[in-house]
């Protein structure tokens, strides 16, 4: 059960979206992947969804358990194809 007190969930989603957008901008500027802090599954999903339609950006999760984090990958990074495969697989899994 999830309890949203005074819109905290919405504020958290807004905060995570801003973090995701900043990471995407940094990844584009540097041409290198940007790893975000370790997050719970709900927060990671919020970041993935926030950047799903971003041009030239892919996301993937790496790590295990409570240390799992989102990596934001620009299209000119070597990891981009791996991140696109991760996104594609994640989208297929969520439909099943």
Report the run of H or E that residue 74 belongs to, with start and end. strand 69-74
Spell out the per-residue pLDDT of the chain, length 96, in tens. Answer: 555 566 788 999 999 999 999 999 999 999 999 999 999 999 999 999 999 999 999 999 999 999 999 999 999 999 999 999 988 787 767 654
Q: Where do we find the tokens 């709900």?
A: 42
With residue 59 as reference, give the H or E element that holds it.
strand 57-62
Output the pLDDT for position 96: 44
pTM for the full predicted model: 0.85
Provide the pLDDT for residue 1.
Answer: 52
β-pair partners for 62: 69
Q: Which pLDDT score, from 0 to 100, does residue 3 have?
A: 56
CA 50 from chain center: how many Å? 7
Domains of the chain: 8-95 (3.30.1370.50)
Question: Could you tell me the end-to-end alpha-carbon distance of the chain, in angstroms, rounded to an integer?
Answer: 23
């Amino acid at each position: 059960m999830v309890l949203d007190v005074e819109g905290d969930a919405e504020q958290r989603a807004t905060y995570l979206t801003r973090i995701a957008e900043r990471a995407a901008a940094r990844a584009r500027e540097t041409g290198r992947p940007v790893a975000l802090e370790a997050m719970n599954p709900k927060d990671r999903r919020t970041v993935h969804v926030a950047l799903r339609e971003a041009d030239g950006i892919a996301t993937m999760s790496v790590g295990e358990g409570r240390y799992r984090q989102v990596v934001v990958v620009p299209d000119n990074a070597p990891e981009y194809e791996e991140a696109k495969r991760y996104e594609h697989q994640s989208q297929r899994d969520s439909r099943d």
